[in-house]
Structures are given as C-alpha cells and as structure tokens.
Structure 1
Amino acid sequence: MDKFPLLKVLLDLQYLNVATTGIKTYMLELAHAARQFPHPEIEWIFSHDPEEQANDKTFKGPQSKIQKLNYHLDYFRWKEFQLPDLVKYHQPDILICPDFISPAASLPCRRLTVIHDAFFWQMPQNYPKWWRKYFLSLIRKGLKEKTEIITTTEYSKNSLLEHLGNDLPITVVYQAPKILNGVSSPSFLPEHKLAKEGYFLHVGTFDKRKNLPLLVRSYADFLAKSQSAKKLVLVGGPGQSTVMNDKPIVEELVKSLGLEEKVILPGYLDDSDVKALYEGAFCYVFPSENEGFGIPILEAMEFGVPVIHSDQLALMEVAGAAGLHFATGIQSELTEKMILLERERDLKARLVQAGKARSEDFSAQKFIAAFQDTILRSPLAK
C-alpha cells in the first residue's frame, strides 16, 4: 500500500522571545505536544528551538523606548522578510503563526493563524492608539488567501466573527494548560508566612481586564465579614503597557486598606514556586472581565483547587459546571462566594471533584489531535 506523502508544517516560534503569559504557554505546549504525539502524515518544522527562544532575554525586562523600537523592527523584519524566506527554503504545505500575525506577502502554502481573542477590537481603551492601529493593520494584512483562523473558545470565535466577518473559516481548538514539571519549592510557603489552604490565589499579569482591584476590595470585605485569617496571593508582573497596567493601583489599594501583611505580591515566579502555591491554595479566584480562554482555571482544577470565576463567557465555557461563578464586576457577589466557599466544606469538596474531572477534558494529546485534524481536514486542504 502506498504511503500518504507527509504534510510539511512550519511552526513560527519567533514570538517566544518576548511572550510571558498565555501565548507563551500556548506556543510551548503546542511545540511540546507536536513532539510528544507525532502523526504519521505530518512532518513538523520549527522556526526556532522552543526552549532556546523562550529563554532568549534580548527583549525581555524593562526597556527604553529605543529598545522597544528595536524589538518592533526586529519583529517586523522577521514576519515580513525572514519568515517568508524560511517558507521558500522549507517549502511547507502549511504555515502556523500562533501569535495573531502572518506575513503580508503572498505565500504558496496554506496558513493557520491563531487569533486568541478579540481584545484589540473589544477593548480599545486598554491599548495605546498608535500601537493598536499598527498591530491591527498587521493582523489584517496577514489574513490572506488560503488562511484559516484558529481560536481558543466558541466565545472567541463569535467575537472574531463580529469584528472580522466570515470571509475566512474560523476553527476552535481547545488548548492545554501548562505542565508544571519538577518538584515544588518546599521553602516558598514558609518564607512568605503562608499556611496550607490558608490563602486565595491568582496567577497572571496585572492587566486592567483582570479586575484585580475588584479582587482586593472583595478580599477586604471578606476579611471584615468572616474574621478569616486567610491571605491573598497575586502572582505576576505589570500589565503589558502603562495604559493597561493596574499593578500601581493594586499596590496603592493594598496600602490604603492596611493589607500589607495580608496581600502577597511576589511578582513573576518560576514553575517550582507556582507549583507550591497551587498545591497549597485554598481557592483560585479569577475575576477577569474578558478572557479568550483562561488557562489558570484548568491549572488550579488539575491541582485539586476549587475555582471562583466571573461569569465572563470564555471562563464559563472552560470551567463548565465545575467552577463557582459570580456576576462579572460585582464586588459584593465575589465576596459572598468567597465567604460561602470557606463556610461550606461540602461545596468545596464537590468543586474539587468536579474540577479534577473537568481538567481531564483539556490535555496535550487532545490539543495536538485537534490541530492535526485541522491540518489534515481543513476546508482549505484541497
């Protein structure tokens, strides 16, 4: 029997040199899953070694305006010149760009462009005007012929249809959470005076859409009404721009409410510290007003941590019936759910059990299988 010719798939991993949160997880887990679960009809080609690119510090950390400009020039040069040259060299059947943007140039191959969410259209106030205009122009110029859009949830798909129309097919591929390998840090909790199941947890940047000031105020009300000794840990760095960054607001709020000993702000942490926090958390709280997916929900559930989340549609979709939700932006409802979870041990146990079951619906194998199916069965394949 004749074998099918291998489909060559080029995966663009350039953006890993600056990605820090959800897109970084997406790109790394996609690359890892492609290696771990190969398909006999697909040959993967990586533009960069994923680990080396993720560890590249050239454009990470605080930067001057000149450094930021140099990064944008480097990124533009990659997308519009170097990546098309790489396509010519490898002659792939399919190019996957997992960071919103595909080259503006015409290419001989099909494209799968991952647009994770519609934030740039939905929340213009959260981005500098010039940057948003520039980034949206790059997105649109890359949506060429023979392109299929991949997105993360049905919510994101419906949002993209609203803003981009239906000229190009849009496919939902559920992603996998980050695998926190290795041993958790045994010293992190005692160093920060945290007890097992003695704190609420949030992991992510301080972007405005995350609603972290709301969480801090709800936590203050929780303390006043419950007399609880539980603390609040907010892991992560500043928002992606001055306009989007709520970290100074959170820091000032913590100070004004006298919560300096109760709210822990450890910044970015390595996997061993994050793993220790998940293992010891009483509850994960996700108050975001807009998400394309919500990876931490699955990370928490996998560790047996119950989740309180806003009723934002993507979070409802990912959590299923395994989370405890509250009306987005309503401080009093979040406080009520925090109090309820502490008082009702049976509720906590049910959420833990449901969460573990729900987390099994999102695995690396299912993630790559959905991609493989899209690669092989796309309406653009013929």
Structure 2
Amino acid sequence: MKVLLDLQYLNVATTGIKTYMMELAKAAKTYPHPDIEWIFTHDPIEQAADHTFKNPSSKFQRLNYHLDYFRWKEFQLPDLVKKHQPDVLICPDFVSPAASLSCRRMTVLHDAFFWQMPQNYPRWWRKYFLNLIRKGLKEKTEIITTTSYSKKALQKHLGEELPIHVVYQSPKSLTSRMDKGIITRNNLDQSPYFFHLGTFDKRKNLPVLVQAFKTFLEKENKDFKLVLAGGPGQSNQMNDFPIVEKLVSDLGLQDRVILPGYVKDEEIIALYQHAFGYVFPSENEGFGIPILEAMGFGIPVIHSDQAALIEVSDGAGLIAKTGDASDLAEKMILLGRDKSLREDLIQKGLFRRDYFSPQKFLQDFQQLILDAAPTL
C-alpha cells in the first residue's frame, strides 16, 4: 500500500506541527512496515531548513508565501497524487487539496483553535484558512486529531459526518549534544529555576505565570528564577510578549525572569536538564508536547486544568486552576517545599512519557491505514 506524506509545510512550521511532521516522517523511516510504502513529498530535513518564507518582514513576503502554499495544495500536490497513485494521502497541516482525488485522505486537524478562539487570528486570514480546510474535507476523508478533547471540540464545529480518529503523537526526539552556554550566560547554574518553552501566544497565559512567580518569591524568599524561552506570538492579536516584558519590568523581576527568545535544540536540552520544575499554564491546547518533553527529562510538571493537558498527563502532573495566578503560585510553592511530592511526580512523569513513543505513534497510523479502523 502506498502512502504519500505531504511535508511542504515544514518550510514555515516552527512549533507543534513541525514536531508532528518530523517525528512521523522519522518514525516511518525507522520502523518500516512490509505492507506500506511511504513516499515523502519533500526530504524532511531539507524542507525544514528552507528559510525562504520563514519570518516574513513585509506584507508582500507574507502574500508570496500564501500564494506558494495555495499553489502547492491546489495544483502541485494533486499532480503528485496523479504521478505516484498512492492509496492514502496524509496532510498533517490541516489542509487537503480541494480537487477530487482518487485516494483516501487523512487530514490532521491538531486542534479546534480556529473555531474556538477567533479573536486570536486576523479576520481575513482566518476566513481564508477555514475555507481552505473545509474545501479539503471531502470524498474519502478521515480526520486525525491529537486527543479526545480535540476530537470533541472538532465534532462540535464540524459535525460528525466525517470520521475523526485520535492518534497520540510522540514528543520531539531531542538527541543533540547539550549546549550549556545558555545556562552559564544566564547564571542558571547558580540558582534553581522554573521553565516554560513555547511561543508567547495569548492562550499560553504567560502573564499569569509571571504574576504567580512574583507571589512565589514573596512567600518563599528563595533565589529562584523563571525562564520563558520562545518567540513572540504568531500575530499581533496573539502576541503576549510585549505584555510579559512590561509586566516583568513593572514587578521588578528583570534579574529573575529570563527571556532568551528562540533557543536551539542543544540549548533546550540544557534548559530541561537543569530545571527545577516545568510550568505550563495554558488555557487551551490540542495536545501539550512540552509537558511530555519535561517528563522525559525527569522534571516535575505543573500544568493547568485544561482538558487536553489532563488527558495527556493522566495524573503525572500537578494541576493548577487555569488563569488563577494565586492557585498557580500555591502549586509552585508546594513543589518547592514537598520533596516526596516532587519525587513522585518525577517517577510518574517518566512512566507516562514512555507511553508516547515514536513506534506507538506510527503503529496507530499504520492501523488506520491498513485496517480502515472505525472511529475511536
């Protein structure tokens, strides 16, 4: 059976979708199946390294990217389907071609944010992108999503006409050599720190985390720091980075809150390895890759009571009320004081992380490809 995997979007993907695509492609190569022939539209490493459309600095550059993406989905990808004659086309970036295709389609919708949080997206762009998504949900299409929470959210907005399958992904394979430079440059080897990794999207609730950290310092009087690694939100509507910067200044936390921006894999490994705890206060997630990454490094995790995070952690994280800075501070204090709780969370986290292996990620896909499994 031939499976065509669309990897075009890797030329701009920077967050969870990039991890999803890279790990699926890597697993397909690592764990071949005798009855499945995988065909990649692009070499994943080369496509991820293509910076032609990354970080556009003008409206003209953004328009060029959208035109390139549209041309790919609606013309070039259908031509590849005709050329390779796959049995299944997998589009892991929300959008499948609007053109009629002879094969089954598996379209990955990672979450329902476009429907749930319209205020976070430019109006014209959201309307355009939702139109692309809907036009591709046709014929023999099966939707793949990341959690049961996301499945229910998608059914609410898309209905139940198309089958929706839940496939748990695997977190990023962080196998690079550790670069401790980021630790020494920020004096993180001199004091314990809480860590968060990700963009400064509004839904991440990072101002709440900064406020909670201020309360933690006032009550504990300890030499802790907070590291918020990652770039700005993906649009002006979504970006909380300026708000976080101002809050850090207003609260006098310039020496305690570290904002290193984008960090390389080698630096991410170092930040995980040395962290005292990982804090993820997000108000909405489709999956929550960083909490599993942290658990894999033996870091205790505090996360919000958002449904997808509860589903993924399955009792291996310390849960705080979403958007409640006081409750989050109390959980940070508890983690700092209770050594037995900390050790228990570490052990539960390591066990939970093992459940989300690359091999299982691929096997769940293979089952759907080969058996046309019924909706979960």
TM range (shorter): over 0.9
Note the aligned Cα RMSD (angstroms): 0.9
Amino acid at match of 1:26: Y
What is the aligned partner in structure 2 of residue 4 from structure 1?
A: none
The whole-number CA distance in structure 2 between the counterparts of 1:362 and 1:296 is 12
Q: Secondary structure at the match of 2:233?
A: coil
Question: Whole-Å Cα distance in 1 between the matches of residues 294 and 73 of structure 2?
Answer: 35
**2:28 aligned residue:** 34
1:186 paired to 2:180: yes
Match of 1:71? 65
Deviation at 1:197, TM superposition (A): 6.8
2:116 is the alignment partner of 1:122? yes
2:130 alignment partner in structure 1: 136
Report what 1:346 is aligned to.
Answer: 340
Task: Name the residue aligned to 1:195.
Answer: 189
Identify the residue that residue 109 of structure 1 maps to in structure 2.
103
User: What is the percent sequence identity of the aligned residues?
Assistant: 68
Q: Residues of 1 paired with 2:165 and 2:330: CA distance?
A: 37
Matched residue of 1:349: which SS?
A: helix
Alignment correspondent of 2:303: 309
Q: In the alignment, which residue of structure 1 is the partner of 2:205?
A: 211
In structure 1, the residue matched to 2:259 is 265
Alignment of 1:138-177 (within 5 A): 138-177=132-171
Residue 186 (structure 1) shift: 2.6
Matched with 2:19 is 25
The size of the alignment, in residue pairs, is 374
Q: Deviations over 1:17-69 (max 9, x none)?
A: 00000000000000000000011100000000000000100011242000000
Does the C-alpha gap of structure 1 residues 141 and 197 become closer, same or farther in structure 2, counting only changes over 3 Å?
farther
Tell me, in whole angstroms, the C-alpha distance in 2 between the residues paired with 1:140 and 1:124.
16
Question: Residue 239 of structure 1: which of 233, 237, 255 is its match?
Answer: 233
Question: Conserved in 2, the CA contact under 8 Å of 1:9 and 1:96?
Answer: yes
Deviation at 1:187, TM superposition (A): 2.4
Q: Tell me which amino acid in the other structure corresponds to 1:167.
A: E
1:56 corresponding residue in structure 2:
50
> Which 5+ residue runs of structure 2 have no aligned equivalent?
none
Aligned mates of 2:172, 2:47 — CA distance in 1: 17
Structure 1: runs of 5+ lacking an equivalent: 1-6
Assess, with a 3 A threshold, how the Cα gap between structure 1 residues 62 and 260 changes in structure 2: closer, same or farther: farther
Q: Which amino acid counterpart does residue 106 of structure 1 have in structure 2?
A: S
Q: Is the 8 A contact 1:197 1:280 kept in 2?
A: no
Residue aligning to 1:3: none
Q: Would the aligned equivalents of 2:115 and 2:157 in 1 still touch at CA under 8 Å?
A: yes
Other structure's SS at 1:299 match: helix
User: Matched residues in 2 for 1:147 and 1:182: separation?
Assistant: 37
Alignment TM-score, normalising by the size of structure 2: 0.98
| CA–CA separation in structure 1 for the residues paired with 2:331 and 2:76 | 51
| C-alpha distance in structure 2 between counterparts of 1:14 and 1:41, whole Å | 25
- How far, CA to CA, are the matches of 2:120 and 2:212 in structure 1? 23
Letter in 2 for 1:303: F
- Alignment check: 8 A CA contact 2:212 2:329 kept: yes
Determine the C-alpha separation between the residues in 1 that align with 2:35 and 2:147. 27
Contact 1:176 1:364 in 2 (8 A): yes
Alignment of 1:318-333 (within 5 A): 318-333=312-327
Q: CA deviation at 1:222?
A: 0.7
TM-score normalized by the length of structure 1? 0.97
2:360 pairs with 363, 366, 372, which one?
Answer: 366
8 Å contact kept, 1:278–1:303: yes
CA distance in 1: counterparts of 2:126 and 2:55, whole angstroms: 21
